[in-house]
Structure 1
Amino acid sequence: MLQEMISKTVVMEAAEQFKHVLPCNDENIQLMKKALILYRQDSVYRVKALDGQTASAYVQDVVPVKVTIDLSAVTKSSCSCPSKKICRHVLAVYLYLYAQYERLGTFTEYWKEQRQSLDRQLLVNQLRRKPDEGVQTLEGWVRFFKSEFSLWEQQTPKGQQTMQYLYYGYYSALKKRTPTEPELKKIYQIHAALATWLAMHTLIEKGRIDPEKDFYSLNPYVEQLMDTIYGSIDELKTYALSFALDPFLEKTPGVVRELLLKEDIFQYERLRVFGEIWSALLARPKWLKEELDVLQQLNGSPEIQFGRLHLEFLLKNDDVMFEQADTFSPDILPYMFQWLGIMTAKKDWKRLKKWYEHLEPLVEGFCKLDKPYRDIRDVLSEFFLFLGDYSKNANDEHLYERYCKKCLPYTFTEYSHFLYSRKRFIEWMEIHSLVGFTIAEIGQNALKDIAAEAPEALLPSYHREISELIEQRNRSAYNEAVSYLKKLRTFYRKLKKQDVWKRYMEQLTARHKRLRAFQEELKKGKLIDGES
């Protein structure tokens, strides 16, 4: 029996793990509700103990999934569903096991204690420290952020110093001190998010968070911080920023630079935030030149190199960037989308023309990188959205087509659409044949359009398909070949090339005269007479 294989002690101790791995926040409350529904609907079945600490089970959800739960380390549990984190299915199986020994209410109450305790402590902190009176300054905010982090570290056990606790404890405390003035509020929200991001790196440096092991658990919180930063910037754009914000903005570069100089983890996200803040809030020539001077003095890490390039871009020193283009690794391509996006939004087609002319070798190099097909395809797909916007507005189809050709096969979709929309059907059929499309795999609507506009474009594909079917040497293939031959005959009649069709059929029947079954199918299809 299950109880004989897995002891109550093992199951109860796992509750402590779930309490830490799934802190009682809004997201995990919804997860717990879904797991409870699955359990109460008897969706957990075929539960089998594998040893004293692991069990397997099936959960009937939209589709059945298989779960293997490890009670000694619940994060190592697995589920056949797509989720990469602990999912509702794993949790539902645990609830099933827990219910074998205790009522579920005991577990859920124990789990909720964590949130109640945290909420009480946050309330005590707020009551103990009243908001500062008087003038708000960025220096004052930074002092508050640092003191609040020190207090959070003191009050949070080392085992609980995770990103979840940082976000719902430390960051929540920062948000409660948000100023009420609209513009100041948005600047504060940006800096509170940056402070939390930097605090995460502090925990990494202290060994409390493992950047590789914990990457997927960190990712959703970093995304939420980015959403806050971007959302605040978007709202600030609706204001004509007053000079009263200058003291805050003048000192913001130092904070943004601190995030830029962090290493390894979330590099792409850090560069995006650096670029967005400088582009939207700090793009004054004086500030740009001062920051560029600072970065020129620092060692040339990839982050610093990007920072310099971004400032040169905002200063419109494109020639300086193009001079360095030969030294760029093709890996930089996705980081350039921020710049392409800015120029596209401003409809600066003249500037973009020079950019696209200089980017060709870099894009070609990116296509040759030793990366999975999907990784290269995803980046080029985004690049061609920008390029397509430029091509349409600048009426520069030649450049767009040149890129399409150089980036094949990754740009098959874009080039196919380009050729089809311009009714260049012969070339359209050629690239489909190049990547191995058969007649049957080409949509009927497309075949009808081509047959009406340019039937000659279909001839090579039909000839090739007929030959391959005959080579299969079976009755069903012969039958399909005959149906293609009838369509081919129609195309030759439409093109008024009956003499070519006649010679082709004479050669075809002579070449395959020993294939009796094929000859019979030709007669049935009335492509040859009975005496031939």
Structure 2
Amino acid sequence: MESIELQHLSNEVRELLHPHDAEDAKLVQKGLMLYRQGTVGQLHFGEDLVTATVQDVTPVKVQLDLTFLSMSECSCPYEGLCRHQMAVFFTAYAKIGSVAEWVEEWREPMKEKKEFTTWGLQTAKDLIKANGVLKPDYSRWVHSFEVSFDTLLASKKYTSPFIITELFQIYERRIHASAPVEQEWRLLYELVGIVISFKKLAVLSEQSGHTEDMVKRAYLHLFHNMMDDADDLVQKIGIQSLPFDFDEFILKLKDDAFELLTAAKGLELERVYLYRLLWSNLFKKKVWREEEAGKIRERMKLLQDWENPLPLMIAGIHLNFLLHNDEAALKMVGRVGDEVVTPYLIHWIDLFSHQKAWKRVSPVIELFLQKLKAYLEELGGYHSCSSFTKTALKAIAPFCVENGRTDLFERALLKTLPYSFADYEYMLFERGQYDRWSELQAYVGLNYYDLPKDRVKLIEKEKPEVLLGMLHQLAQREIDQKNRQSYKLAVRHLKKLRTLYKKMKRLDDWEYFFETLLDKTKRLRAFHEECRRSKLIEV
């Protein structure tokens, strides 16, 4: 079990820290140094925790949460994951594997880049000399992109995923060097380049056998950069007057965009994002959208067993929404599994919210909330779930605010616990709903002494009875442990209870409760001794 939990923690650390980030790299280096210097001591494995001390300039105490990394603590003033927590992680991980190998594997994306730069740049220069600056011709543009890509990235000479970024950046410089001079043509040229490059890179990834994790660690950011650039380009193209000759290019680009749905099996989210972006902002004619919807239906009939149907299904839903066939679109959503369709719903929520089409967005949000919990369970990983929860709450917030639907927002907070804890806790406290606020604290496992002191102080003044239940449960839990140390803690809780009862002028209730408690525990001599020692029992 310990091995499984440590492996889970290892995956959480990998997910949180990125070797390309200078601060993350420095954090790993400092933690590694403290580990190698033997500064970690008193290492102890609990049920869900690893605790230890680290003898840094100032000694610190560290507590690693094996289930939720973000709940880990260190007595140093640094917020978030610190070098002391990393040192303890390495010390714990050493029990199940090689720390050196872990670090080497984590750093691998930084390797193998520089040695290919010179070769790639020279190849790009040669291509530019051979082709010159291309004139507006769609077929020649595409041919140039494909030749450049195949020469630089698909030569089969280099297969490591960790050199893709460097070679792709060289390829992009080659594309920009051959762009038309005229502004309006340059924008379209770059957009065509993104669609072709996106498709080629997705195919290369699949043909090279790169796993989802390898792509994520090595070059997923390339796809995200192209998505951002495409977003910027379609906005710029949309606000300028377009030459008549553009129509032919747009028609051909529309056909190439369709291949984003079928070119590869992986990277569904990214391929669908680019496809939806183009159809929402560039391919706006109703007849085009109707023809595309029919084309998708026909292609679905020809799907082979090995093909991934999801991108085509999402594209079909999107086109129905664009054609205002909302009822048909929502029925199609219902036929797709919760664990796969849920993240795609955010796009339509954002789209309709931006248009202030509140009647259209309402049923989409309802459907989204029905599917949200199942998706989070399938997603797994605290960091991933927390990130998606933030995105989800941000997406539905405009509708809830604009239409006074605080009930809907609260339902979303409840469905996404514990990942929405901070937002929900804040909302309940600001509303003065202290009873529910305390229930939420108990739900996530926090007790009276974990609560923020400023909030406890305010609740003691406004509604102290809320805290009584927490302290009663805490005291009883310690008594049930039946050992001297737990009795001491129970007495501490009981003294705080007595203080609160005094503030509330309910001493009679306290005395009745305490007498009943003493009678129930009359066989627990050690507990009664602690009560006498602390003067809870008058001698």
Task: Tell me the TM-score normalized by structure 1.
Answer: 0.72
Work out the CA distance in 2 between the residues paired with 1:185 and 1:466: 72
* Contact 1:178 1:185 survives alignment (8 Å): yes
Matched, 1:160 2:158: yes
Give deviations 1:85-114, integer Å, cap 9, x for gaps. 5266x89xxxxxxxxxxxxxxxx9xx76x5
Indicate which of 482, 494, 498 corresponds to 1:489: 498
Q: Which runs of 5+ in 2 are unaligned?
A: 1-18, 38-82, 91-97, 302-308
Work out the CA distance in 2 between the residues paired with 1:263 and 1:87: 23
Higher mean C-alpha deviation, range 508-517 or range 381-390: 508-517
Higher mean C-alpha deviation, range 215-224 or range 364-373: 364-373
2:133 aligns with 131
What SS does the aligned partner of 2:189 have? helix
1:141 aligns with 141
Indicate which of 455, 459, 462 corresponds to 1:453: 462
2:102 aligns with 80
Work out the CA distance in 1 between the residues paired with 2:154 and 2:350: 42
Equivalenced residue count is 444
1:321 aligns with 329
Give deviations 1:185-216, integer Å, cap 9, x for gaps. 222212112222233355467x5x22328534
Work out the CA distance in 2 between the residues paired with 1:297 and 1:198: 21
1:335 aligns with 344
- Taking the TM superposition and a 5 Å limit, the aligned residue runs for 1:96-107 are none
* Contact 1:282 1:288 survives alignment (8 Å): yes
Once the two structures are TM-superposed, the CA of residue 312 in structure 1 deviates from its matched residue by 1.3
Structure of greater Rg: 1
* Contact 1:189 1:228 survives alignment (8 Å): no
Higher mean C-alpha deviation, range 456-465 or range 407-416: 407-416
Task: Tell me the TM-score normalized by structure 2.
Answer: 0.71
* Contact 2:276 2:318 survives alignment (8 Å): yes
C-alpha distance 434-122 of structure 1, shift in aligned 2 (>3 A): closer
What SS does the aligned partner of 2:209 have? coil
Give deviations 1:214-237, integer Å, cap 9, x for gaps. 534342433333343234335446
Once the two structures are TM-superposed, the CA of residue 165 in structure 1 deviates from its matched residue by 7.1
Give deviations 1:31-61, integer Å, cap 9, x for gaps. 9xx99xx9xxx9xx99xxxxxxxxxxxxxxx
Letter in 2 for 1:86: E
Once the two structures are TM-superposed, the CA of residue 454 in structure 1 deviates from its matched residue by 1.6
- Taking the TM superposition and a 5 Å limit, the aligned residue runs for 1:131-530 are 131-133=133-135, 136-149=136-149, 152=151, 158-160=156-158, 163=164, 167-201=168-202, 203=204, 207=207, 209-212=208-211, 215=215, 216-236=217-237, 239-242=239-242, 244=244, 245-299=246-300, 301-331=309-339, 332-367=341-376, 369=378, 371=380, 375-530=384-539
Letter in 2 for 1:212: T
* Contact 2:120 2:167 survives alignment (8 Å): no
C-alpha distance 434-117 of structure 1, shift in aligned 2 (>3 A): closer
Work out the CA distance in 2 between the residues paired with 1:117 and 1:328: 46
Work out the CA distance in 2 between the residues paired with 1:494 and 1:79: 59
What SS does the aligned partner of 2:234 have? helix
Once the two structures are TM-superposed, the CA of residue 444 in structure 1 deviates from its matched residue by 1.8
Q: Which runs of 5+ in 1 are unaligned?
A: 1-27, 47-61, 67-75, 92-107
C-alpha distance 156-465 of structure 1, shift in aligned 2 (>3 A): closer
Work out the CA distance in 2 between the residues paired with 1:263 and 1:425: 52
* Contact 2:475 2:490 survives alignment (8 Å): yes
C-alpha distance 476-144 of structure 1, shift in aligned 2 (>3 A): closer
Letter in 1 for 2:478: L
Letter in 2 for 1:127: K
Higher mean C-alpha deviation, range 468-477 or range 185-194: 468-477
Give deviations 1:334-367, integer Å, cap 9, x for gaps. 1111111222333333332232233343234435
Give deviations 1:287-334, integer Å, cap 9, x for gaps. 322222221221162111111111112223211122334312102101
Letter in 2 for 1:436: G
* Contact 1:175 1:192 survives alignment (8 Å): no
Work out the CA distance in 1 between the residues paired with 2:366 and 2:404: 15
Work out the CA distance in 2 between the residues paired with 1:364 and 1:119: 49
Work out the CA distance in 2 between the residues paired with 1:523 and 1:118: 81
Work out the CA distance in 1 between the residues paired with 2:389 and 2:121: 47
* Contact 2:345 2:364 survives alignment (8 Å): no
C-alpha distance 402-165 of structure 1, shift in aligned 2 (>3 A): closer
Once the two structures are TM-superposed, the CA of residue 168 in structure 1 deviates from its matched residue by 4.3
Work out the CA distance in 2 between the residues paired with 1:123 and 1:297: 44
Once the two structures are TM-superposed, the CA of residue 82 in structure 1 deviates from its matched residue by 8.3
* Contact 1:178 1:189 survives alignment (8 Å): yes
Work out the CA distance in 1 between the residues paired with 2:529 and 2:130: 97
Work out the CA distance in 2 between the residues paired with 1:305 and 1:228: 25
Letter in 1 for 2:361: L
Work out the CA distance in 2 between the residues paired with 1:379 and 1:202: 27
Work out the CA distance in 2 between the residues paired with 1:268 and 1:389: 24
Work out the CA distance in 2 between the residues paired with 1:347 and 1:255: 32
* Contact 2:227 2:274 survives alignment (8 Å): yes
Once the two structures are TM-superposed, the CA of residue 423 in structure 1 deviates from its matched residue by 1.4
* Contact 1:211 1:265 survives alignment (8 Å): no
Work out the CA distance in 1 between the residues paired with 2:375 and 2:131: 54
C-alpha distance 169-363 of structure 1, shift in aligned 2 (>3 A): closer
What SS does the aligned partner of 1:436 have? coil
Work out the CA distance in 2 between the residues paired with 1:190 and 1:526: 79
- Taking the TM superposition and a 5 Å limit, the aligned residue runs for 1:13-92 are 79-81=101-103, 84-86=106-108
Letter in 2 for 1:326: G
C-alpha distance 138-386 of structure 1, shift in aligned 2 (>3 A): same
What SS does the aligned partner of 2:299 have? coil
Letter in 2 for 1:401: E
Once the two structures are TM-superposed, the CA of residue 248 in structure 1 deviates from its matched residue by 3.1
Once the two structures are TM-superposed, the CA of residue 389 in structure 1 deviates from its matched residue by 3.3
Work out the CA distance in 1 between the residues paired with 2:148 and 2:322: 35
* Contact 2:379 2:385 survives alignment (8 Å): no
* Contact 1:171 1:193 survives alignment (8 Å): no
C-alpha distance 156-419 of structure 1, shift in aligned 2 (>3 A): closer
